[in-house]
């Protein structure tokens, strides 16, 4: 683990979330990206060294949609930057964390990602992410 790469926040509407975070952070989002496989639309903000990812549901049967129905808007995950995601996944698995995907998946903002089940991580959904190079 290197550092917190971003904090993921679930919002009902990307437009409203973007408005809120633009006035909170004082900067507009730098990118919007749809991840069809996860049924999510994302919007990214950078403020100094920090990054916020807003996640809004695409349709009504994806993981974000389910999260919002169960918990409402709010912090969805904490993402950590790693340099060797496969090695970290092996290490996490050995440490007893439950991996939600067995091989790295292509996530938003040019990253390989793997999620750890919140039940194995003290109630927090953890994302490991590695920059896709080349
Ligand atoms: Co994320």
**Ligand 1 centroid distance, CA of 20 (Å):** 19
**Ligand 1 centroid distance, CA of 8 (Å):** 5
Low-confidence residues in the chain, pLDDT < 50: none
- What is the distance between the alpha carbons of residues 86 and 90, in angstroms, rounded to a whole number? 6
**Ligand 1 centroid distance, CA of 94 (Å):** 23
**Ligand 1 centroid distance, CA of 65 (Å):** 15
**Ligand 1 centroid distance, CA of 39 (Å):** 13
């Amino acid at each position: 683990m290197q550092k917190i790469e971003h904090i993921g926040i679930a919002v009902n509407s990307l437009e409203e979330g973007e408005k809120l975070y633009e006035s909170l952070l004082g900067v507009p989002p730098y990118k919007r990206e749809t991840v069809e496989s996860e049924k999510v639309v994302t919007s990214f903000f950078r403020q100094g060294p920090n990054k916020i990812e807003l996640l809004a549901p695409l349709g009504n049967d994806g993981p974000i949609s389910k999260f919002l129905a169960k918990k409402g808007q709010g912090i969805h995950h904490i993402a950590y930057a790693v340099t060797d995601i496969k090695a970290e996944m092996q290490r996490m698995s050995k440490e007893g964390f439950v991996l939600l995907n067995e091989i790295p998946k292509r996530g938003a903002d040019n990253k390989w990602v793997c999620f750890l089940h919140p039940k194995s991580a003290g109630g927090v959904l953890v994302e490991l992410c590695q920059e896709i190079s080349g």
